[in-house]
A and B are shown apart, each in its own frame.
Chain A
Amino acid sequence: MNGGDRVLGVLKWLVITLTVIVCAGPLIYGFLLSLRPFASVAAAPLSLIPSAEEVTLEAYPRAMGEFGLGGFMLNSLQVALATVVLAVLFSVLGGYAAVRLDFFGRRSVNVLFLGVYMLPGIVLAVPLFVLLSRVGLTGTLVGLVLVYIAQTVPVALYMLRNYFIAVPASVEEAAMIDGCGRLALIRRVVLPMALPGIAATSLYVFMIAWNEYLFALLFLVHERPRWTVALGISQLTEFSVPATVLMAGSIAVTIPVVAGFFLAQRLLISGLTAGAEKG
């Protein structure tokens, strides 16, 4: 090992340490702040670890109740779940068709979805705002769900397609010969085999819908009771809400995403092993 390689070895551990601090640091900082009274943060911003007597969970109920984040989270949950169910349903059907069936317009479908992916969200936001206002859907969660489905279906379909390709066509043909109709075939044969993929796709769609900000801002900003949690937290930063409460809100909005991540991970693994057992 020459001198240059030794320097690289030290550099490597420096990079790893720095990466961990930079990636996990802000989240830990947010969490620690959410446990302290604001007066103590303002007085001593450098003492990160809260002392035993000042630790308080008070910021969480304040964020949820007094500042309404609890209600906003419920709105977000409804929007995200509705988006996941519909977007994944549509993309299962469409993705299966794109993989297995040779139908008229199959190619143009792909081009269309690529186009959707390339169009800047902000550019579509302008006409969507105009059109949905015209039919009275801005200011409603339904309008938001419809837009989110359109925004996520192309990606979901693309993701699912890759999992469907992995399902052997011979299994499907056998089921077809046994008299299984197309929809029953998708439900009984393709879905179970692509379950890990569907879990991953659902999580991805959920994250997009849960985190989305631009359309929520445009459509709902004047409808405070219908704010999503992303919109709610960002609007609260405009008022003089204590930083500790904002941190509590930020941690709370992160929890479902992290929980979903671990849940889906278990589903992913169990799906894979369930397939392996049958050899």
Chain B
Amino acid sequence: MTSKRLVFTRWGRPLNRSQRDDLHGRLLVTPTMLIVLAFVVLPFLAVLVLAFADVRLVDIPRLSLDRLTLTLANFRSAWGSDRFWSALGTTLAYAACTTAGAITAGLVVAMALRRPFRGRGLVRALVLIPYVLPVVAATTIWKTLLNTEYGLVNAVGRQLIGWENPIAFLTTRSQELGGIPIPVALVTVIAFEVWKTFPLAFLFITARLQVSPMELEEAAAIDGAGKVRAFFHIVLPQLRGVIALLIVLRFIWSFQNFNDIYLLTGGAGGTEVLAVRVYEELVTRANIGTASATGLLMTAMLLVLLFVYGWMIRRERA
């Protein structure tokens, strides 16, 4: 039966081990490679071409490579539009605030749950709810909570706190609070994202805390250092690595986020981020070219930001 499994080379000799490993490795990875090539690499190449082409949604049935004429018009139109730059500003504010908020909240909760107590397991499980809840369920519940007519938040605000009017959290671009204009809708989508993503930061930080020894802190306590000082001088420095990683991951994900914002506000009330911009170009304006160009500019900007961050980290370590 073994002869069946032996693979022979063209010259009839059995393969040696490294040749066999090479062949098997390539064969086993083929299905993955094919699907990634067809549904990631090919589309990426296509978007590179489409960004330079004048194509609308109606052109799709007649689309072919040789008929495309290349132009820079899409980039010019994206680059020259005010909406693009305001979307970029919104995206940066959104990504920076959600990243900072999620990591801070994750850190605070991880520290609060660090020492064992009765029911800690249950609390840890509950913390994961926002993370595992399907995004559509989460946004639907939030929209109901914030509804101006029957939502709990506005009911509490009006009947218990004494607001004069309900607040339209998801559509209000700006509202004065004590003389300071607050971008209400943007703050709301940021709050939602912090709520939804801080459990992941919590998990990462908790995992790191579990392997960090308590002895140093105990020694510091004996020397009379308070917990706050011990936190900043002993615990936080140990968490630098995991926090740096979380900053990168969270920033990438928030920068590209479409679902959460689109489901909550549809991009209204000053929450139009770049991802929503791309969608609007594609679906509302039916312009494949400008949608592709906007998407590529967005990717390029993300890469530049990550490059700068990597450079900063490396310089700090040196």
- Which chain A residues have a beta carbon within 8 Å of chain B's beta carbons? 2, 4-5, 8, 12, 15-16, 19-20, 22-24, 26-27, 29-30, 33, 41-42, 45-46, 48, 89-91, 93-94, 96-98, 100-106, 109, 112-113, 115-116, 118-131, 133-134, 146-147, 149-151, 153-154, 157, 179, 181-182, 207, 210-211, 213-214, 218, 229-230, 233-234, 237, 243, 246-247, 249-251, 253-254, 257-258, 261
How many angstroms between the C-alpha atoms of A19 and B61 in the bound complex? Answer: 52
In the complex, what residue of chain A is closest to B229 when comparing beta carbons? Answer: A4
Known: A20-B123, A93-B29. A119 touches B21 (CB 8 A): no
Does B126 contact A131, Cβ atoms closer than 8 Å?
no
Does B149 contact A42, Cβ atoms closer than 8 Å?
yes
If A29-B145, A246-B144 are given as contacts, then 7 extra A-B residue pairs at C-beta distance below 8 Å, sorted by A number, are: A29-B144, A104-B22, A122-B256, A127-B44, A127-B50, A243-B144, A258-B132
The 10 closest A-B pairs by CB, nearest first: A103-B25, A150-B39, A101-B25, A120-B256, A123-B295, A250-B137, A127-B46, A45-B155, A127-B43, A94-B32
Known: A8-B228, A45-B151. A120 touches B275 (CB 8 A): yes
Known: A4-B227, A104-B22. A123 touches B144 (CB 8 A): no
Does B150 contact A27, Cβ atoms closer than 8 Å?
no
Does B141 contact A211, Cβ atoms closer than 8 Å?
no
Distance (whole angstroms) from the CB of A126 to the closest CB of chain B: 5
How many angstroms between the C-alpha atoms of A27 and B256 in the bound complex? Answer: 26
Does A29 contact B152, Cβ atoms closer than 8 Å?
yes
In the bound complex, residues from chain A placing their C-beta under 8 Å from that of B141 are 26-27, 29-30, 247, 250
Known: A5-B227, A12-B112, A126-B292. A211 touches B135 (CB 8 A): yes
Does A149 contact B112, Cβ atoms closer than 8 Å?
no
How many angstroms between the C-alpha atoms of A251 and B227 in the bound complex? Answer: 42
In the bound complex, residues from chain B placing their C-beta under 8 Å from that of A42 are 149-150
Chain B contact residues: helix, strand, loop or mixed: helix
B1 at the interface (CB under 8 A from A): yes
Does B144 contact A126, Cβ atoms closer than 8 Å?
no
Number of interface residues of B (CB under 8 A): 91
Distance (whole angstroms) from the CB of B206 to the closest CB of chain A: 13
Does A249 contact B140, Cβ atoms closer than 8 Å?
yes
Question: Which of B2, B39, B258 is in CB contact (< 8 Å) with A147?
Answer: B39
Known: A16-B113, A121-B256. A254 touches B137 (CB 8 A): yes
Question: Which of B29, B128, B283 is in CB contact (< 8 Å) with A103?
Answer: B29
In the bound complex, residues from chain B placing their C-beta under 8 Å from that of A147 are 39
In the complex, what residue of chain B is closest to A230 when comparing beta carbons? Answer: B136
How many angstroms between the C-alpha atoms of A215 and B2 in the bound complex? Answer: 47
Known: A102-B25, A214-B258, A230-B136. A8 touches B156 (CB 8 A): no
Chain A contact residues: helix, strand, loop or mixed: helix
How many angstroms between the C-alpha atoms of A116 and B283 in the bound complex? Answer: 24
In the bound complex, residues from chain A placing their C-beta under 8 Å from that of B155 are 45-46
Among B171-179, B180-188, B237-245, B296-304, the stretch that binds chain A is B296-304
Question: Which of A4, A91, A211 is in CB contact (< 8 Å) with B226?
Answer: A4
Question: Which of B46, B60, B132, B228 is in CB contact (< 8 Å) with A257?
Answer: B132
How many angstroms between the C-alpha atoms of A29 and B143 in the bound complex? Answer: 12
How many angstroms between the C-alpha atoms of A151 and B32 in the bound complex? Answer: 11
B109 at the interface (CB under 8 A from A): yes
In the bound complex, residues from chain A placing their C-beta under 8 Å from that of B140 are 30, 233-234, 237, 246-247, 249-250
In the bound complex, residues from chain A placing their C-beta under 8 Å from that of B227 are 4-5, 8
A-contact 0/1 string along B1-41, CB 8 Å cutoff: 11001000000000000100111111011011101101111
B259 at the interface (CB under 8 A from A): yes
In the bound complex, residues from chain A placing their C-beta under 8 Å from that of B259 are 213-214
How many angstroms between the C-alpha atoms of A182 and B2 in the bound complex? Answer: 12
In the complex, what residue of chain B is closest to A179 when comparing beta carbons? Answer: B2
Question: Which of A8, A101, A130, A131 is in CB contact (< 8 Å) with B28?
Answer: A101
How many angstroms between the C-alpha atoms of A246 and B296 in the bound complex? Answer: 36
Question: Which of B43, B128, B130, B263 is in CB contact (< 8 Å) with A131?
Answer: B43
In the bound complex, residues from chain A placing their C-beta under 8 Å from that of B127 are 19, 23
In the bound complex, residues from chain B placing their C-beta under 8 Å from that of A115 are 40
